[in-house]
Amino acid sequence: MSGQDGNRESLVGFGHRVVDLDIDGTDDLSALDAVDAVFVEGGSPFFLLQAMRESGFDSAVTDAVRGGLPYVGMSAGAVVAGPDLEPLSTTSNTALGPRLRSTEGLGLVDAVVFPHYNSRAAQYTEVEALFGGRYDLVPLEDSQALIVDDDGSRIVPSELKG
């Protein structure tokens, strides 16, 4: 398995019960009150942020995380957790979020994650040149994870391999 199904199955394999929410639909976001963590999958960061804002998931998940709920973001799910998506505007299709009024992220972490660094190193060089003075950029390979907790932030080998 690969992609989203593989990530979901990996979480189940670790013994987690997975509750799916369609944030691009009309799912009841009160399900966040009954979970031990939130896992946000990848895709287009601009589409994902747009769906989060339009559904109210952005506020609901931000409040829940600030209240202690762990947040796990994969690819675009990690990008939207940061302060802004602007650095990804040169590498991701912004047209997939046509109703976004702002690229401001959830602000759960201070850094902008640049995912898939191992296959996009040349793009990162451009992003760093354009945005490195304004944002803390963190390039992550697919085999890595950024952990942010009370002890600070660090890059570790990823347990999930999609």
Domains by residue range for the chain, with CATH: 3-157 (3.40.50.880)
Catalytic residue among 75, 92, 143, 153: 75
Query: Catalytic site residue 153?
Result: no
Q: Are 117 and 146 in contact (CB under 8 A)?
A: no
In 43-78, which positions are buried (b, 16+ CB within 10 angstroms) versus exposed (e)? Answer: bbbbbbbbbbbebebbebbbebbeeebebbbbbbbb
Query: Catalytic site residue 116?
Result: yes
pLDDT at 159 over 70: no
d(CA 31, CA 79): 23
- Average pLDDT value for residue range 61-78: 93
- Residue among 120, 162, 151 at smallest CA distance from 137: 120
Which residue did the predictor score with more confidence, 6 or 131? 131
pTM of the model: 0.89
Residue 11 has a pLDDT of 76
Catalytic residue among 10, 16, 116, 158: 116
- Average pLDDT value for residue range 92-106: 95
pLDDT at 162 over 60: no
